[in-house]
Amino acid sequence: MGELVEYSPKEDVQSGDNIHHRCHPLHITWLSGFNPRVSLLNVSTTRERKELVLASGNTLLFYCYDGEREKIMPVVGHKNVVNMIGCDETGRFVVSSDCSYCINVWDRQVGGDNNHPPIAIRTIFEPFKANGEIGAVSLSRDGKYLLAGGGIPAEQGSQLKLWSWTVGNDFPDGSITLPSRLGRIKTIHFCPDRGRRNQFVVTLESGVVFGAWDSKEQKLSIQVPKRHGFQDYNDTVFVEHTDRAVSVTDAGMAVLWSNDRKFSDGTDGTVLRKEFLKYLHLKYASINVVRSCDEKIVTGDDDGEIRFYDNSMKILYWFKQEDLEPIRTLSFELVESRQWKSVTEPNDADDQAPKEESSEKKVELNIEDIAPKDVSFEARPVIVRGFVSATKSGKIYDIDIVYNKIQELFLQSPSIITAFDVHAARSELCTCDGNGRFVVYDLQTKSMRLALDVPIQRTRRGRITTLAYSPCGTFLAGGAENGFLWMVEPNLLILAGSSPLQFTSEKIRLVSFSEDSKHLVCVDESNTITLVARVKDDWQSVGRCVSHRLVDLAFLGATDFVSIGEDRYMVQYTINSDEMVQLEALSIVRRKRIEQSAFPTAFLVLPGGNQILVANDQLKFKIFHARTLEILHTFLAPFHDGPARYLRQLPGEDYFLFITNSNIYLHHLPIDGNPFKYLAVRGHPKRLKGLQVAWTVRSAFTFGEGDHAVSMWKINTSPLMDNIRHAGAGLDPFCTLLPGGKRGCYVREILSLFFYNQISPKNSDGDAELTLRDAMNVQDVPNYMRSIGFHMTEYEEQNLCKEMELTGTYFLTFEEVMKLFLNHRTAAGGPPNTEDIRTAVTYIGATTSSGEKVDLVRLITLLASMGEPMDPKTTEAYCRILFPSAFESNEQDEDPEPECGTAEDCTNCISIEEFADKLC
């Protein structure tokens, strides 16, 4: 008989893996920092183990430190940037909200295992409709109620909504609107005292609101104290074990609120009405945060000072950190407060055995001797539990004033990331922020290894905008906004030689090393390409050229590289390093136009070095020959979320990655236009700004707009292969791009036209017997594509014919023609609509002065001289077929040169609506 074994999540999942990574091509595993603008949460339940909850973009970071190792568990659960975090008194349930999309409640004790990632057990989507923002959220201390504030304060005032979230109601149990004059909601806090846990306080820009939830009558009520001229409130909390509350402001004021004396105290402290008691001018700097803990009121301000007051706001103790950075967060541990009373005093609330009680108090008795003394005449010890503070620059400190311990935790996030790169051979990541700080991380241990502060000139646009490791890994180059080129030795993270170099005063947009690491190419804002070579032990500028507005650049070999630009050209360059030959050090070899109307966005040198893959803004991938720059193939790119950018190959494998506006894609090689050959995950709530791939850890790295951290994504190709395997063969995956699929009426119609082309008069030979076959002459393919909805230009037809020539055959099967059609047609998939035609004829000036009619004679003249010229006789023949009524009167009058296009009633003018309808 078998033995029953309790299920454990770790037994079915390999080390470092989880159920999400089995289904997703990329899974976030680590971030190099956090967002200091969002207040962190201290959920530590023991003094030996520090547990924090932080935010970074749309990701929550569950951080743990046991005294030896730091562990970070990132979880993605929001569409937009996380802006608020809260928890109950036990720390098990954590609530988080983003700017406008949803509110999540997380369970940190899933399966009773700290190694298992927390899961969202409740999600409330769009709590404030009509694009209302979520300003703040909070959980009651007992964890029963969830309170959220937000809306559109400027128009209709902020709203408060309360849910009994454990019940599962989709609609709030209570809702109330706040006065619009109070402005935006900043924070929400529930009362910690038993019997009053349904009371809360809301801090707004221009006022404070006190409220309560009546669970019996299911009613939400608020009370707004009278105004006393204070503005710019930052935070408000209830003072424990009293009937008071304290608010702090930007002007360094502390405002005290107390129960109105005109109202008698209710039972269990359920008094709601509060009035202004007094104010104290504590600082000449902004006080950003206030907390009440262990019968003390604690504040943090812009001077980097943390102050301790008693419940009557008498100063007890204060201290400043060494760096004197503004304090943004104070979060206390969830452990019980320390006892410092003597052993002889009785403690009726203690339920432990007498023996354990006495032994515990003997240990705590020593705290009185080592704790700092307050500034009162009694010099009583200041005893408070440990807490965590976070500064404006992103530093986190674990502080214990009793034992006089201050320890810095987690990774620093001082400023927004501006550039990063990964080492080619080692598991190493280097980032640079807006303050000019280089930080090198070890990707195996997920820890910071080295740091360097570059003396950038912030007032003169000195921020570093691009970073690049050399292929050999011994050099690191960073280009700045003021034209400086910083050369760093990454092994020691020190400046190399005469760094920085300055050969331009414009912003350096791109830096790239050659394959042999002997040369460095820099591109600045003025579109100048500068060649920098290593001469002895230093770097010097040896050549310059101007070609076009460069978009991307890559080396084909040690001395050859290629660029694409906004002028729709691809340019090939060569480096001449032979001093005996009198040639320019940098010269242009070849220029080739690769686009007609689209703009290239990125390119990648495919394995083997003979082909170049180019992406454009019309959602196409094009492959060109690396030496002749001739087009080889055109394929459909992912048509969601913008064009592909930052193409990066996974070394040694048939995969490459790229980013769009907010998504990260994994694509399988070779490309053939199959929509099932790529998968994506949402990588950023705003806009992704960079992508790199580290082969040593098989991971991708990204950062986005406004990020203080670089995200590390584990790559998993299994879901993509399963997707390709189940997509089908032949035309099955491609027909999903057509209306109705493979068996739809659209596919049947184009199949009928395919065979009709073979029995058309131009293909017949008198009375000879016709034989239908599943093949079409390559000469008939362009017109066949026009007949089924792809109206290509002459340039596009030339590219199509070149691609068909590479097949080496004169006939193409229906499957081959369909793949060409789906890959070459526009991403929208249909012909131009009426509005497109109206816009086109108006733009080229083919309409009359009023703009209501189209002058056909003027249109024929313009089409013969603009863009790809058309034969006037051919254009006129088309116009006579489409609009015969416009030429009837002229033919009757036998006027060979009618004066058309000058009068509104000209016979060659037709209404623009009729013209657009005919062409559609």
Are residue 739 and residue 850 in the same domain, yes or no?
no
CA torsion angle for 704, 706, 709, 710 (degrees, to 10)? 10
Are residue 558 and residue 498 in the same domain, yes or no?
yes
Residue 135 within any structural domain of the chain: no
What are the tens digits of pLDDT across the range 530-541? Answer: 999 988 888 999
What are the tens digits of pLDDT across the range 413-460? Answer: 778 999 999 998 999 999 999 888 999 999 998 889 999 988 876 656
Q: Which residue has the higher pLDDT, 421 or 740?
A: 421
CA torsion angle for 165, 169, 170, 174 (degrees, to 10)? -80
Q: Which residues pair with 211 in a beta bridge?
A: 200, 222
Are residue 537 and residue 571 in the same domain, yes or no?
yes
Give the confidence band of 725 by pLDDT, cuts at 50, 70, 90.
Answer: very high
Buried b (16+ CB within 10 A) or exposed e, 385-418: bbbbbbbbbbbbbbbebbeeeeeebbbbbbbbbb
Which is nearest to 464 in space by CA: 544, 522, 540, 546?
522
Give the confidence band of 213 by pLDDT, cuts at 50, 70, 90.
Answer: very high
pLDDT at 389 over 90: yes
Report d(CA 190, CA 148) in Å as an integer. 12
pLDDT at 265 over 90: no
CATH of the domain at 455: 2.130.10.10
CA 354 to chain centre: 57
The pLDDT value given to residue 912: 85
Are residue 449 and residue 509 in the same domain, yes or no?
yes
Are residue 445 and residue 547 in the same domain, yes or no?
yes
pLDDT at 765 over 60: no
The pLDDT value given to residue 268: 45
Most confident of 214-228, 386-400, 560-574: 560-574
The pLDDT value given to residue 787: 87
The pLDDT value given to residue 340: 46
Cis previous bond, 675, omega within 30: no
The residue among 532, 566, 593 that closes a domain is 593
Q: Which residues pair with 400 in a beta bridge?
A: 405
Question: What mean pLDDT is predicted for residues 241-251?
Answer: 94
Report d(CA 543, CA 521) in Å as an integer. 10
Report d(CA 879, CA 870) in Å as an integer. 13
CATH of the domain at 841: 1.10.238
Burial of 26 from C-beta contacts in 10 A (0-12 / 13-18 / 19+)? buried
What are the tens digits of pLDDT across the range 475-502? Answer: 999 999 989 999 999 999 898 877 789 8
Report d(CA 567, CA 564) in Å as an integer. 8
Residues 6+ apart with CB under 8 A from 873: none
Report d(CA 751, CA 744) in Å as an integer. 11
Report d(CA 162, CA 154) in Å as an integer. 22
Residue 792 gets the label, from left (phi > 0), alpha (psi -120 to 50) or beta, of beta
pLDDT at 343 over 50: no
pLDDT at 371 over 60: yes
Are residue 443 and residue 586 in the same domain, yes or no?
yes
The pLDDT value given to residue 279: 92
Query: If DSSP codes are grouped into helix, strand and coil, which group holds residue 33?
Result: coil
Residue 754 within any structural domain of the chain: yes
Report d(CA 274, CA 225) in Å as an integer. 6
Instruction: Take residue 435 and report the two structure tokens written for it.
Output: 């303050």
Helices 814-824 and 794-805 pack at an angle, to 10 degrees, of 140
Are residue 870 and residue 750 in the same domain, yes or no?
no
Residues 6+ apart with CB under 8 A from 544: 503, 528, 529, 530, 531, 586
The Cα diameter of the chain in Å comes to 125
Q: Which residue has the higher pLDDT, 761 or 692?
A: 692
Instruction: Take residue 572 and report the two structure tokens written for it.
Output: 């090939």
Residue 284 within any structural domain of the chain: no
Residue 619 within any structural domain of the chain: no
Q: What single letter denotes the amino acid at residue 247?
A: S
Are residue 574 and residue 431 in the same domain, yes or no?
yes
Q: What single letter denotes the amino acid at residue 11?
A: E
Residue 489 within any structural domain of the chain: yes
Cis previous bond, 739, omega within 30: no
Are residue 843 and residue 746 in the same domain, yes or no?
no
Least confident of 244-248, 288-292, 448-452: 448-452
Domain count, the chain: 3
Q: Which domain holds residue 755?
A: 731-761+773-824
Residue 155 within any structural domain of the chain: no
The residue among 546, 574, 593 that closes a domain is 593
Question: What mean pLDDT is predicted for residues 327-337?
Answer: 87
Question: What mean pLDDT is predicted for residues 598-624?
Answer: 95
Describe the strand order of the beta sheet including 157-163 as a list of residue ranges: 133-139, 146-152, 157-163, 174-177
Residue 675 within any structural domain of the chain: no
The pLDDT value given to residue 756: 84
CB 276 within 8 A of CB 257: yes
Report d(CA 288, CA 269) in Å as an integer. 29
Q: Which residues pair with 711 in a beta bridge?
A: 31, 702
Instruction: Take residue 637 and report the two structure tokens written for it.
Output: 């790119």
E strands within 195-304?
199-204, 207-214, 219-223, 233-238, 245-249, 253-259, 274-281, 287-293, 296-301
The pLDDT value given to residue 611: 95
Are residue 780 and residue 915 in the same domain, yes or no?
no
pLDDT at 900 over 50: no
Run of H or E including 185: strand 185-190
pLDDT at 388 over 90: yes
The pLDDT value given to residue 770: 61
Run of H or E including 480: strand 476-480
Output the 3-class SS for 45-99: CCCCCEEEEEEECCEEEEEEECCCCEEEEEEECCCCCEEEEEECCCCCEEEEEEC
Please report where in the chains the tokens 């209710």 appear, as a residue. 266
Burial of 675 from C-beta contacts in 10 A (0-12 / 13-18 / 19+)? middle
What percentage of the chain exceeds 90 in pLDDT?
Answer: 55
Instruction: Take residue 759 and report the two structure tokens written for it.
Output: 């029995």
CB 578 within 8 A of CB 534: no
Report d(CA 467, CA 422) in Å as an integer. 9
What are the tens digits of pLDDT across the range 787-819? Answer: 888 888 899 999 999 999 998 899 999 999 999
Query: If DSSP codes are grouped into helix, strand and coil, which group holds residue 891?
Result: helix
pLDDT at 872 over 80: yes
CB 230 within 8 A of CB 246: no
Q: Whole-angstrom distance between the N-terminal and C-terminal Cα of the chain?
A: 75
The residue among 593, 620, 650 that closes a domain is 593
CATH of the domain at 777: 1.10.238.10
Are residue 445 and residue 497 in the same domain, yes or no?
yes
The pLDDT value given to residue 15: 44
Residue 513 within any structural domain of the chain: yes
Are residue 454 and residue 580 in the same domain, yes or no?
yes
Query: If DSSP codes are grouped into helix, strand and coil, which group holds residue 901?
Result: coil
Output the 3-class SS for 123-183: EEECCCCCCCEEEEEEECCCCCCEEEEEEEHHHHEEEEEEECCCCCCCCCCEEEECCHHHC
Least confident of 86-90, 694-698, 839-843: 839-843
Which is nearest to 50 in space by CA: 33, 63, 40?
63
Least confident of 214-223, 313-322, 356-365: 356-365
Report d(CA 157, CA 389) in Å as an integer. 32
Q: What single letter denotes the amino acid at residue 356?
A: E
Q: pTM of the full predicted structure?
A: 0.87
Report d(CA 226, CA 262) in Å as an integer. 15
Q: Which residue has the higher pLDDT, 25 or 867?
A: 25
Give the confidence band of 584 by pLDDT, cuts at 50, 70, 90.
Answer: confident
The pLDDT value given to residue 890: 54
